[in-house]
Amino acid sequence: MNISFSGGCPDGYVEFESSCYKVYTGKKYAYAASEACVEDGAHLAYITSQAEQDFIAGQLVASTWIGLRKLADENAVSWWDGTPLDFTKWKSDEPNSLDSGDNECVRMRESSDYKWADMDCNTNYDYVCEVEGKMPSSTQFAYHGKRTQVTQLPCVSSSYIICILSSWKRHKGALSLGSFCRGRADVIL
């Protein structure tokens, strides 16, 4: 089996390093913003470097939710999937209310050069979604000697290769992977 990818980002997303980002200016509560990202095949952005912080800040026009929140019953924060922080960009007096229970989510605060600040999750802000990996604009692979071209795969990862192979078997070569793979929890790692 030969698989090759040529990269790009989903419509409306902007590429930076190994991810794609999209800023939404339709203000939402943090949990609604997270759900909107998931519906788009993404998640609220996880910022892991100064370069990524600077890139995202350069895309923003207002305070914006990122994928950082208070852990349940703890006085600490992590990314929404539970990944611990290895980079932070807190405003000088932040986080300042994690122990109160009121400010459980984190935004990039416009008035503080987009440094991070905790805030009540039930406040409406813009939000930034991230798709990790790049979506190939075209994928070619050979399966049992037959060459096939597939377009608009959601992301490049081993889970999508599994999806390609399982959908090939299920559909006997008639693939519509953009709709088949997107959002499939059983094939997304």
Provide the token pair at 19.
């991810």
Distance of CA 18 to the CA centre of its chain: 11
* Contacts for 46 with CB less than 8 Å, ≥ 6 apart: 66, 67, 68, 79, 81, 83, 130
Within a 10 A sphere around the Cβ of 134, how many other Cβ atoms?
22
How many angstroms separate the CA atoms of 66 and 114, rounded?
Answer: 11
CATH fold of 19-132 reads Mannose-Binding Protein A; Chain A (3.10.100)
The per-residue pLDDT for 93 is 85
Compute the radius of gyration of the chain from its Cα atoms: 19
Nearest to 161 by CA among 174, 147, 146, 177: 177
Question: DSSP secondary structure string, 84-143?
Answer: PPS---B-TT-S--GGGSS--EEEEEGGGTTEEEEE-TTS-EEEEEEEES---SEEEEEE
Q: Could you state, in order of their start, the residue ranges of all structural domains in the chain?
A: 3-7+134-181, 19-132
Measured distance between the N- and C-terminal CA atoms of the chain, rounded to whole angstroms: 21
Q: Is the pTM of this model over 0.75?
A: no
- Euclidean distance between CA atoms 25 and 143, whole angstroms: 43
**The predicted structure's pLDDT at residue 133:** 74
Would you state the pLDDT for residue 95?
80
Positions of the chain with pLDDT under 70: 1-7, 72-75, 98-103, 134-189
Please state the φ and ψ torsions of residue 178, each to the nearest 5 degrees.
Answer: -55, -45
Tens of pLDDT, residues 34-83: 999 999 999 999 999 999 999 999 999 999 999 999 876 666 788 988 88
Q: Amino acid identity, residue 157?
A: S
